[in-house]
Structure 1
Amino acid sequence: MKIAAIEAIPYTIPYRHPLHFASGSVHEADHVLIRLRTDEGLVGTADTPPRPYTYGETQKSIIAVVEDIFAPQLIGVDIFDREKVQAILYRTVHNQTAKGAVDIALWDVIGKVLGQPVTKLLGGYTDSLRVSHMLGFKPAPELLALALEFREKHGINTFKLKTGRRPLHLDVEAARVLREGLGEEAELYMDANRGWSAVEAAEVLRRTADLGLQFLEEPDDAREVLGRRRLAANSPIPIAADESAANLGEAAREILTGGANLLAVKTARSGFTEAAKIVGMAEGMGIDVYIGNQIDTQVGTAASVTFGAAFAHTAKRAAELSNYLDMADDLLAEPLVITGGRIRVPEGSGAGTAVDEEKLSHYRTDR
């Protein structure tokens, strides 16, 4: 069975509650839905979230690279020749989320052909993941109220606090208020999105040393090489690489050169194939990983659950899976449900990314 066509469909869905953080803000999901069709009529689906302030991709650039560069080279390739597909994709530099979506759509088709859930094809470790929720920039009392609401309503008790603000006391206060209000049983960690310098990050770590934070993600720009390595070497908690480790090579570099000692894995930017390589590398090195959130829709979140539940190593920590709750609507045909702080893997063959056609027709912006 061969690839017959790849389609890139732009769409926009507004957020009820915009997310603000150090490197930008998100007010609507201006995403691209990728559809990979076979010569026998099967369709694989994936979602692509442009993040111009992180990876340099936009809706227009994703559509262009998928339809003008990737599709002409991939049409006619057997769907089971996954490494051949990877080789074709990686002739083109950057464009991480566009590549990731094509790979996920390919896996979705493979699962449907074989009549198996992709999570089982990848590893089949568990049927659900524990959920972590991201909290954006807000006054500390509002953050606590929101966290308490998510714990009461969804059973979520792990929270990522977006930080990277100046003055530093805003984020220190937020972390302290969350710890005091949620209690010791809550898992808390911070993500500065490169908003501080290494010196500022070290000061925040000093001021929050008594709060039992799990780790600090992207405290500063990883290109601040000496400061970043000094920070990671002396930090009392792990320093996580996220946007500085968007692919396998970058992840290896950050770990081997001391820029980080924990890795975020995001299927939206690495697909399933490269993400599995990152997880295998990390496990072999004794480095923990966690499933990150690209501010995903439910379609993207379903892919993250499918992947994260497949491996023991990715299932250890809570996964960032709940920020679709801030959206006004979504495209997923079978909506995800968070119960007791967990999301179950979508049932059925494929990656669980099937969309509601009426909603897609309503929200797409190319017609």
Structure 2
Amino acid sequence: MKITKITAAGVNVPLVAPIRWSWGMRRESTRLILQVETDEGIAGIGETMGRVGPERIQYEAQKLIGEDIFDIERILAILRPVPYFFGYAGYGLIAGIEMACWDAVGKALKKPVWALMGGRFRKKIPISGYVFTRARNEKTGEGGETTPEQLLEFSRELVRRHGFRNLKLKVGASHPDVDIATIRMFREEFGPEMGLRIDPNGTWSPQTALRICKRLEPCDLEYVEDPTWGLEAMARLRRDIDIPFATNMCVVDFDQIPVAFRMNAVDVILGDVHKWGGLLTTRKLAAVCDTLMWGMCIHSGAELGISETAKLHMATCTPNLTFAIDTHYPHLADDILAGGKMQYDDGTMSAPDKPGLGVELDMDRFGRYAEAYRKNGLADGYEKDVSRPSGWCPKKFQW
């Protein structure tokens, strides 16, 4: 089954309200939707980061015309040089194409992707609800949560509506004392049964991170994700802090794994079916984590339903993926899937049993959000946060 054509189009899907984090603010999610066509009339769809760009997909696609879509390792090898020049976006390019290939292979074999990658280990996938401080949506009035009390009220509704048994707080956009008060309030409100984790995206200096993490030790956090910047600082802190450290920033490729392991800098790796270069590579990462006795979770980057479903397939067939996976999905105002947004079942989701990824596009929604992309272009996830002081910029250590 030979590849005959690969196409890509950007879409901009709005969020319910702008979400704030340490590097700026996100109002909408720009994603790239791909289709891989074959000479047998079977096509697969995929999704990846918008920053990859449709033009780059079109250029690299020329190298894959005529390749057998079942030869995924060969396809990955052909695209191997791309991240050397384009970093994260290069891995994202590979991931989008590979995802569409898996979808087509599953359709050809009449099997879901999870069945092709090891079979079902678990059916219900626990999801971690993501809590951000939010700016106000000027059109709808949604959002505006900045205080611990407002964040707690928002999170109560998040848990009530979706059944989450795990919450991740995006910290670092507010003063550290506000973050500490918020986390303590969450632990008191939700009790010891609720899994709690935090992520300041490396914005705390090592000195600030040491002070904050020491004060948070009684809160029984699952982990702190990237409390400070870089392996050296993470390793220094880890010696003095009795909370596991996770990362999506300082261990982001296989070359960094042995260094991080020798330094004892991290305890949990956040895989990513885009930033690590695809489903197959993320499965390889899981095997490494299992060997090194590291925990593993799955990162979220404001994915739409195609990628969210790919994450579910990955979690279905990966035994050592024991942490509830991250998601921005409740923050999306809409989706491009047929049937609209997917729903949670008591804080969980399940991968489809249908062939391939098991999802299809709603062409009306796709067309609407593709037009928004054509009109407005790439929506950065780190646009200027107007609530910050004049002259603010996302410097390395903000606190």
* Distance (whole Å) between structure 2 residues aligned to residue 327 and residue 285 of structure 1: 36
Amino acid at match of 1:236: D
* Distance (whole Å) between structure 2 residues aligned to residue 348 and residue 128 of structure 1: 16
Amino acid at match of 1:42: I
Conserved in 2, the CA contact under 8 Å of 1:248 and 1:274?
no
Which ranges in structure 2 are unaligned for 5 or more consecutive residues? 134-145, 376-399
Report the secondary structure of 1:209's partner residue: helix
Report the secondary structure of 1:14's partner residue: strand
Amino acid at match of 1:103: E
Conserved in 1, the CA contact under 8 Å of 2:22 and 2:173?
yes
* Distance (whole Å) between structure 1 residues aligned to residue 166 and residue 104 of structure 2: 33
Amino acid at match of 2:311: S
Instruction: Deviation per CA, 1:1-25: give whole Å up to 9, x if none.
Output: 0111111101111111222111232
* Distance (whole Å) between structure 2 residues aligned to residue 96 and residue 25 of structure 1: 24
The 5 Å alignment of 1:80-91 reads: 80-91=70-81
* Structure 2 residue aligned with 1:274: 281
Amino acid at match of 1:283: D
Amino acid at match of 2:361: V
Q: Are 1:172 and 2:180 matched, yes or no?
A: yes
Conserved in 1, the CA contact under 8 Å of 2:336 and 2:365?
yes
Q: Are 1:108 and 2:114 matched, yes or no?
A: no
Conserved in 2, the CA contact under 8 Å of 1:11 and 1:32?
yes
Q: Are 1:345 and 2:345 matched, yes or no?
A: no
Q: Are 1:324 and 2:329 matched, yes or no?
A: yes
* Distance (whole Å) between structure 2 residues aligned to residue 63 and residue 6 of structure 1: 10
* Structure 2 residue aligned with 1:21: 21
Q: State which of 46, 49, 73 in structure 1 corresponds to 2:63.
A: 73
* Structure 2 residue aligned with 1:302: 309
Instruction: Deviation per CA, 1:239-296: give whole Å up to 9, x if none.
Output: 1111323333334443343331210011132310110110011011111101221121
Q: Tell me the percent identity.
A: 24
Conserved in 2, the CA contact under 8 Å of 1:165 and 1:196?
no
Report the secondary structure of 1:126's partner residue: coil
Report the secondary structure of 2:30's partner residue: strand
Cα 1:279–1:256 change in 2 (3 A) is farther
* Distance (whole Å) between structure 1 residues aligned to residue 93 and residue 225 of structure 2: 24
Amino acid at match of 2:14: P
Report the secondary structure of 2:217's partner residue: coil
Amino acid at match of 1:178: F
Report the secondary structure of 2:349's partner residue: strand
Amino acid at match of 1:337: Q
Conserved in 1, the CA contact under 8 Å of 2:309 and 2:357?
yes
Q: State which of 342, 355, 358 in structure 1 corresponds to 2:361.
A: 355
Q: Are 1:139 and 2:129 matched, yes or no?
A: no
Conserved in 2, the CA contact under 8 Å of 1:9 and 1:63?
yes
The 5 Å alignment of 1:253-292 reads: 253-269=259-275, 270-292=277-299
Cα 1:99–1:256 change in 2 (3 A) is farther
* Structure 2 residue aligned with 1:54: none
Amino acid at match of 2:292: M
Q: Are 1:119 and 2:90 matched, yes or no?
A: no
Instruction: Deviation per CA, 1:113-144: give whole Å up to 9, x if none.
Output: 11100011112212220110111123211211
Q: Are 1:35 and 2:35 matched, yes or no?
A: yes
Conserved in 2, the CA contact under 8 Å of 1:298 and 1:330?
yes
Conserved in 1, the CA contact under 8 Å of 2:10 and 2:53?
no
Conserved in 2, the CA contact under 8 Å of 1:241 and 1:251?
no
Q: State which of 244, 252, 272 in structure 2 corresponds to 1:246.
A: 252
* Distance (whole Å) between structure 2 residues aligned to residue 244 and residue 49 of structure 1: 20
Instruction: Deviation per CA, 1:206-229: give whole Å up to 9, x if none.
Output: 11111111100011221xx43221
Instruction: Deviation per CA, 1:48-75: give whole Å up to 9, x if none.
Output: 124xxxxxxx2xx42222111x201111
Cα 1:179–1:67 change in 2 (3 A) is same
Q: State which of 93, 105, 117 in structure 2 corresponds to 1:98.
A: 93
* Structure 2 residue aligned with 1:11: 11
* Structure 1 residue aligned with 2:53: 62
How far 1:180 moved relative to its partner? 1.2
Conserved in 1, the CA contact under 8 Å of 2:214 and 2:241?
no
* Distance (whole Å) between structure 1 residues aligned to residue 291 and residue 209 of structure 2: 29
* Structure 1 residue aligned with 2:2: 2
* Structure 2 residue aligned with 1:333: 338
How far 1:164 moved relative to its partner? 2.1
Cα 1:4–1:276 change in 2 (3 A) is same
* Distance (whole Å) between structure 1 residues aligned to residue 312 and residue 195 of structure 2: 20
Which stretch of structure 1 is more off in the superposition, 331-340 or 80-89? 331-340
Tell me the TM-score normalized by structure 2: 0.84
Instruction: Deviation per CA, 1:143-189: give whole Å up to 9, x if none.
Output: 11121112211110200111124531011111111111111211101
Report the secondary structure of 1:349's partner residue: coil
* Distance (whole Å) between structure 1 residues aligned to residue 54 and residue 257 of structure 2: 27
* CA-based RMSD: 1.7
* Distance (whole Å) between structure 2 residues aligned to residue 128 and residue 262 of structure 1: 22
Matched residues, number: 353
Cα 1:357–1:75 change in 2 (3 A) is same
Amino acid at match of 2:30: D
Q: State which of 216, 224, 235 in structure 2 corresponds to 1:216.
A: 224
How far 1:197 moved relative to its partner? 1.5
Report the secondary structure of 1:330's partner residue: coil
Cα 1:98–1:251 change in 2 (3 A) is farther
